[in-house]
Structure 1
């Protein structure tokens, strides 16, 4: 398997963490969607990461779809229950974290690609408000010791990569007090072997504006 994408992308990183957690061997294609867009576009038609190239050449796109395949391979070791209320809880917590990430990323890209005079203050305020609301809701729903209870799940992976991205790129709505539980969870997860194995390298970074 070949994982396409750099680890400064939280959704690429979440796939890598799952691969390491499941003990599934893979290699990496670390070409950048900024510096090597044409090459990435030949692999992933939307020029989006992550993509996972399977051993038979099939290409999977979208982190949720990729993880669905990996979960199937992992069987009972999957980072999500097979069915029932607990599965829905993991899916909803993961969706909240991913939706929050999308709003944070919208702010990051608006500021990166548009000079100050061309930025939409209305759009930025809306996205910042949605990101704050997402963090608040995640905090309210958070269980212990992990996001959904006793076991590590995809929700923990998504929350951790979200917090890492915010601390690296845009942390103005991440409150050290109001969101302390999320930050603490992320710190705990980052110390786990599968997370450390997927730590971003210095060369894996979106260009700074």
Structure 2
């Protein structure tokens, strides 16, 4: 199995961390959609990260689709999504907010790095991320699951792109969740580059 893309993408990183937690071995190919555009286009003509290639040649793009595919390969007790309908709805709700935060942070990064200062839309840059995290244990019970992985990856990415914009004092539960998660081997093994 191959995971293609850079770990500075929260979408690539959430798949890498999830695969490590699930115990699924894979080869990480750090190919950039920007610096290695032609090489990436040879792998995937859409040039979208993450790109996942299974041993049988199955190619998937989009972290959510890749993770759904991998969930179905995992034994039910090891899965990272709750199976009970109400718990699953809650998990999807939390993941949706974390993914929206990732997308907004990517857009902020583009806004700050690509658009000239006099053309930036200030109200867009001032939008924040809600702290939907409860203090204490993991979000969906007593073990790390997909909502935790996605929220922790989103928080770390946001801190990397916009340091100081969304401080730990403003979102203490989210910061604490991320700190707990980032100390785990699966996160340490997939560092934000």
TM tier, smaller: over 0.9
Deviation at 1:152, TM superposition (A): 1.2
Off by >4 Å, runs of 4+ in structure 1:
none
Q: Which runs of 5+ in 2 are unaligned?
A: none
Cα distance in 1 for residues equivalent to 2:11 and 2:84: 24
Give the whole-Å Cα distance in 1 for the aligned partners of 2:57 and 2:126: 40
Which residue, out of 165, 187, 190, partners 1:195?
187
**Distance between the aligned counterparts of 1:143 and 1:90, measured in 2?**
16
Q: Secondary structure at the match of 2:3?
A: strand
Structure 1 window deviating more from structure 2 (2-11 vs 81-90): it is: 81-90
- The answer as to whether partners of 1:5 and 1:32 remain within 8 angstroms in 2 is yes
Of the candidates 133, 145, 149, which is equivalent to residue 157 of structure 1?
149
Deviation at 1:157, TM superposition (A): 0.6
Count of residues paired in the alignment: 192
Identify, as 1 or 2, the structure richer in helix. 1
- How far is the alpha carbon of 1:56 from its aligned partner? 1.5
SS at match of 1:199: coil
Query: Given the alignment of the two structures, is residue 135 of structure 1 paired with residue 169 of structure 2, yes or no?
Result: no
Question: Which residue of 2 is the match for residue 96 of structure 1?
Answer: 97
SS at match of 2:74: helix
- Larger mean CA deviation between 68-77 and 170-179 belongs to 170-179
Structure 1 gaps, min length 5:
205-209
Contact 1:22/1:74 (8 A) holds in 2: yes
Aligned mates of 2:80, 2:181 — CA distance in 1: 14
Instruction: Give the alignment's TM-score, normalised by structure 2.
Output: 0.92
Task: Give the equivalent residue in structure 1 for 2:9.
Answer: 9
Stretch deviating more after TM superposition (187-196 or 166-175): 166-175
Q: Any conservation in 1 of the 2:135–2:173 contact (CA below 8 Å)?
A: no
After superposition, residues 28-107 of structure 1 pair within 5 angstroms as: 28-76=28-76, 77-107=78-108
The structural deviation recorded for 1:151 is 2.2
Q: Is contact 1:135–1:174 with CA below 8 Å preserved after alignment?
A: no
1:149 and 1:47 map into 2 onto residues whose CA distance is: 37
